[in-house]
C-alpha cells in the first residue's frame, strides 16, 4: 500500500473509532507508520481535504452502483421504488466492504462534527444520482410544502447515516441481528412511511 493510501485507511479507521476532533494528525501519521507528522499536510492539505479524500472513493462507488441499478431495472414508478434507489447502493456498498468496513461510522462521526459536517453532507448529497433520486421522491410527494420536504430530506439523511453506522458497528462486533439486505429493507419501509405521512 502506498503512503497516501495507508494514511487514508488509517485516518478513516481512527476517525470512525474515536471521532474526528479527537484524532490528531500526529496520531494518524504515527499509526500509519510515518515518522514525519507533516506527511498528512503534504499529501492532503487541510483536515477538510483529508475528509473529502476519505469520502471520495466511497461516494464514487455508491454513485456507480446507483446508476448501474437504474440502468438494469429502469426508473421505478413508485415512492418505495425510489427509496430503494436511494438506499440499496449504499447498503450494497457496505455489504461489499465486509465486516472490516469503517466508513459508515466515519460518516456518522463526521456528520456530528460541528466544523466538518457541512463538508461531507454536501459531498454526499451533491452527487448527480443522489440529486436525481431526491428530486424523484419529492415529485411523488407533491402535497408536502417545500419546508416539510426539506425536513424529511434531513430526516432521510440522518436515518440512513446513523442506521448504517449502527449496523456496521454491530457487524464488526459480531452482535448484528440483521444482514445488510435486511437493513436496506427496514430503511426502505421506514422511509416510505416517513415520506407518505400526512401532516396534521
CB-nearer residue toward a copy of itself: 17 or 48: 17
Decide: 164 and 86 in contact? Cβ < 8 Å: no
CB-nearer residue toward a copy of itself: 36 or 191: 191
Apex 163 CA angle, 151 and 146, nearest 5: 10
- Whole-number minimum distance, CB 128 to a copy of itself, in Å? 25
- Whole-number minimum distance, CB 163 to a copy of itself, in Å? 6
CB-nearer residue toward a copy of itself: 66 or 152: 152
List of residues contacting a copy of itself (CB under 8 A): 17-22, 80, 105, 108-109, 112-114, 147-148, 151-152, 154-155, 158-159, 162-163, 165-166, 169, 177-178, 185-186, 188-190, 192-200
- Whole-number minimum distance, CB 155 to a copy of itself, in Å? 6
Phi-psi region of 64 (alpha: psi -120 to 50; beta: other; left: phi over 0): alpha
- Whole-number minimum distance, CB 195 to a copy of itself, in Å? 7
Largest CA distance in the chain: 60
Decide: 61 and 42 in contact? Cβ < 8 Å: no
Residue with cell 427509496: 83
Phi-psi region of 76 (alpha: psi -120 to 50; beta: other; left: phi over 0): beta
CB-nearer residue toward a copy of itself: 20 or 40: 20
Amino acid at each position: 500500500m502506498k503512503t497516501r493510501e495507508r494514511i487514508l485507511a488509517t485516518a478513516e479507521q481512527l476517525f470512525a473509532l474515536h471521532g474526528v476532533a479527537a484524532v490528531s494528525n500526529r496520531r494518524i501519521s504515527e499509526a500509519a507508520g510515518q515518522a514525519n507528522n507533516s506527511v498528512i499536510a503534504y499529501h492532503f492539505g487541510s483536515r477538510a481535504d483529508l475528509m473529502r479524500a476519505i469520502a471520495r472513493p466511497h461516494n464514487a462507488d455508491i454513485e456507480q452502483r446507483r446508476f448501474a441499478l437504474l440502468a438494469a431495472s429502469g426508473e421505478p414508478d413508485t415512492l418505495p421504488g425510489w427509496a430503494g434507489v436511494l438506499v440499496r447502493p449504499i447498503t450494497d456498498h457496505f455489504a461489499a466492504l465486509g465486516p472490516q468496513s469503517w466508513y459508515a461510522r466515519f460518516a456518522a462521526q463526521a456528520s456530528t462534527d460541528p466544523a466538518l459536517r457541512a463538508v461531507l453532507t454536501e459531498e454526499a448529497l451533491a452527487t448527480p444520482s443522489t440529486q436525481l433520486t431526491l428530486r424523484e421522491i419529492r415529485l411523488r410527494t407533491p402535497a408536502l410544502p417545500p419546508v416539510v420536504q426539506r425536513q424529511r430530506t434531513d430526516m432521510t439523511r440522518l436515518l440512513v447515516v446513523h442506521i448504517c453506522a449502527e449496523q456496521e458497528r454491530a457487524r464488526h462486533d459480531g452482535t448484528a441481528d440483521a444482514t445488510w439486505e435486511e437493513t436496506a429493507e427496514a430503511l426502505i419501509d421506514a422511509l416510505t412511511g416517513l415520506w407518505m405521512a400526512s401532516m396534521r
